[in-house]
A and B are shown apart, each in its own frame.
Chain A
Amino acid sequence: MATDFMEFQPAKLPANIPGRRLRVDRVQWLQTAEALRESNVRFLTLWGADDRDHDGGFRIYAAYLLPDTVIVVEHFMQDFPAPSYPSIATLFPAALRMQHAIYDLLGISTDEADKRGWLRHSGWPETLFPLRRDVDGTQQYPVASAPYPFVEVEGDGVHEIAVGPVHAGTIEPGHFRFSVVGEKVLRLEERLGYTHKGVAKHFEGMSQKEGHRLAARVSGDSAVAFSWAYCAALESITETVCPARAIILRALALEHERLANHLGDLGALGNDAGFAFGLTQFSKLKEDLLRTNIVAFGARYLLDYVIPGGVAVDLTVDARRLLLDLYDALGPSVNQMRSIYDEHAGLQDRIREAGRLEQAAAEKLGATGLVARASGLPYDLRVDHPWTPYDSFVPKLIVQTGGDVAARVQTRFDEILESLRLCRALLSGPPKDAIHTSVPVATSDLLGIGLIEGWRGPVLIALETGPNGGIRRCHAHDPSWQNWPLLEYAILGNIVPDFPLINKSFNLSYSGQDG
């Protein structure tokens, strides 16, 4: 495997972890994927670009995570007769929906038989590919509603339950089509893309120094992870070194984002199992954290905290003391809630064995982030591919082997306690330093990668600079892309009333996936 890559001579790629870039032809595109699959390399993301204005064709990029490197494999294809590339979905199943999305936006296709639209529902013409450079992204088109052919399950007593896109709770929109017999789920098919807002096209009209604001809004619950990934890509391209204090504060903000989401999820999981007490308690703890965020970071949700070159708000001495008080209160509360959850027979009855994703399936299907760790896969970028400051503040790797809802609950408990430990360590001595530095304008046509372990899993930003401080192309990848198809798998054989619980235990992003 290593020798193969020596032969290809990958070029250096700016990124916040060691990066390589490899240009391949059509045959090598598939060969590379095969070789990487055999070496159990993790597939990160896939994106395309319209480069007809530069060299008359399109490019497809795949990012993979090697044991010590992120590698971007790049394939150029001519515009005529029609741009296409070999599908890698049989090797990396998670690539399938990404390939659909790339077709919807750019019109570059694969040899896959399924041609249904993923991001394009019926809001723009089938022959229009909005991410092409000759398409005006601001134009709107009349919506012509068209049916979506779900895969049908046939047999005695089989019927369908259609859910969404508008859901019953205060959550994001998407459609779930269940094929059931009685209460038992035979098949679940997801249809997403409802919140597609044209993020990629919008990036292209922005300047390098304001792109982090849009990145933060790709998925609002992961704002720190996305804005940090964006800034990491830009800072890698421009070889900017952030002040040490800013780096520590970014990590503190990222851990707070993890804490807030995990606290919220643990409450919602209790509630979905009929244990409303859990929701009351955890939503109180989450609110305590968010209110402290206002004092420490200037906002409840940190959408504009991470900025190119550093962070927007400094941590005062008083805020530091307040944070330590918060951690002192949170730790024992979470531990007490954990023993209440563990000892509650009714709750355990609902969450154990529900929505099981076995380790072998998780690995084969490309599970990532928290979901992977709850199925026994030791994946955490902070541990296996640490970027500053996680190289000196090393988190304990959290792994649970159950793969069921209970394991995903335990993973969250473990990660909260570990994040609290990390936060204390980060606060122990953020050096007196500036909180941001200026970032020079990057010259055009440079590619950089930012890779951050958000609370759901690895968030990736691939940034290609344009002329005059602009952005030529920016791809934002949410780990939900990998884990959404696994939900379809984990629900098999479970009963319909357990779906909200199983779904919440994954808690995937719709907006992050839809873009």
Chain B
Amino acid sequence: MWNTLSRMLHTGLLTEPLPAPGEAAPALETLQRELLGILGRALCIRHVDAGSCNGCELEIQALNNPYYNLEGAGIKFVASPRHADLLLVTGPVSVNMEEALKRTYDAVPDPKLVVAVGNCGACGGIFGTSYASCGGVVNIIPVNFTVTGCPPSPTAILCGILQAIRPASATTKAS
């Protein structure tokens, strides 16, 4: 126990400031306030691997490490699409995952957002389209924002998520 506590103290706080996605760089407090205004709670993300090589998954997992500390920004991953506001989809959509992706998308309550992650999610990447691959996510379900990279860095993925939710916040405010 002493070891654990001492390691915690020794490690300290590592969380870095949020990245600046283009001009619309939200401060942490602004972002949390906006999310709270729209949703009344954290933004809930459901990840779906629709045929990825597992590279993008590793970088999405990294968002939860102490440096990026996604949950500290008011964004969390959830276990069911029924709890989600946003789908984070990786991979070229394999034909064997096409139906599962559609069903997952249908299970997310409206209004919903989709962010396609990685070169494969964007356009099929190196796998393209074939008898086994449907190519980019947009070929199967509507996509709000795309993050390219192979794999994209956690910062790039975080920027993509922030970009995707900001127009939504603008719309909600307008309405």
Cross-chain contact B100 with A143 (CB below 8 angstroms): no
- Give the contacting residue for B54; candidates A137, A213, A510; CB below 8 A: A510
Q: Which of B22-30, B31-39, B64-72, B164-172 contacts A (4 or more CB under 8 A)?
A: B64-72
Cross-chain contact A201 with B130 (CB below 8 angstroms): yes
Which interface residue of B81, B104, B131 has the most chain A CB atoms within 10 A?
Answer: B131
Which interface residue of B125, B130, B153 has the most chain A CB atoms within 10 A?
Answer: B130
Cross-chain contact B130 with A202 (CB below 8 angstroms): yes
Chain B residues within 8 Å of A217, by CB: 53, 55, 125-127, 150
Given contacts A284-B14, A340-B4, are A123 and B53 in contact (CB under 8 A)? no
Q: Which of B52-79 contact A (CB under 8 A)?
A: 52-62, 64-67, 77, 79
Nearest B residue (CB) for A141: B131
Nearest B residue (CB) for A145: B99
Interface residue A196 (Cβ < 8 Å from any Cβ of B):
yes
Chain A's nearest CB lies how many Å from the CB of B42? 16
- Give the contacting residue for A170; candidates B11, B53, B61, B130; CB below 8 A: B61
Interface residue A339 (Cβ < 8 Å from any Cβ of B):
yes
Interface residue B144 (Cβ < 8 Å from any Cβ of A):
no
Chain B residues within 8 Å of A141, by CB: 95, 131
Cross-chain contact B131 with A281 (CB below 8 angstroms): no
Q: Which of A300-329 contact B (CB under 8 A)?
A: 300-301, 303
Cross-chain contact B7 with A340 (CB below 8 angstroms): yes
Cross-chain contact A194 with B151 (CB below 8 angstroms): no
Q: How far is the CA of A337 from the CA of B8 in the complex (A)?
A: 11
Interface residue A251 (Cβ < 8 Å from any Cβ of B):
no
Interface residue B129 (Cβ < 8 Å from any Cβ of A):
yes
- Give the contacting residue for A343; candidates B3, B79, B99; CB below 8 A: B3
Chain A residues within 8 Å of B121, by CB: none
Q: Size of chain A's interface in residues, with CB distance under 8 A?
A: 61
Chain B residues within 8 Å of A219, by CB: 53-54
Main secondary structure of the interface of B (DSSP, over half): mixed
Chain B residues within 8 Å of A449, by CB: none
Q: Size of chain B's interface in residues, with CB distance under 8 A?
A: 53
Chain B's nearest CB lies how many Å from the CB of A65? 26
Interface residue B161 (Cβ < 8 Å from any Cβ of A):
no
Which interface residue of B61, B79, B134 has the most chain A CB atoms within 10 A?
Answer: B61
Interface residue A227 (Cβ < 8 Å from any Cβ of B):
no
Interface residue B141 (Cβ < 8 Å from any Cβ of A):
no
Q: Which of A11-19, A87-95, A161-169, A440-448 contacts B (4 or more CB under 8 A)?
A: A161-169
B-contacting residues of A (Cβ < 8 Å)? 121, 123-124, 128, 130, 135, 137-141, 143, 145, 165-166, 168-173, 193-199, 201-202, 213-214, 217-221, 223, 264, 277, 279-281, 283-284, 286-287, 290, 300-301, 303, 336-337, 339-340, 343-344, 509-511, 514
Sample (11) of A-B pairs whose CB atoms are under 8 Å apart: A143-B99, A145-B99, A165-B97, A170-B77, A194-B96, A196-B51, A220-B57, A281-B7, A339-B3, A511-B53, A514-B94
A-contacting residues of B (Cβ < 8 Å)? 3-4, 7-8, 11, 14, 47-62, 64-67, 77, 79-81, 91-92, 94-100, 104, 125-134, 150-151, 153
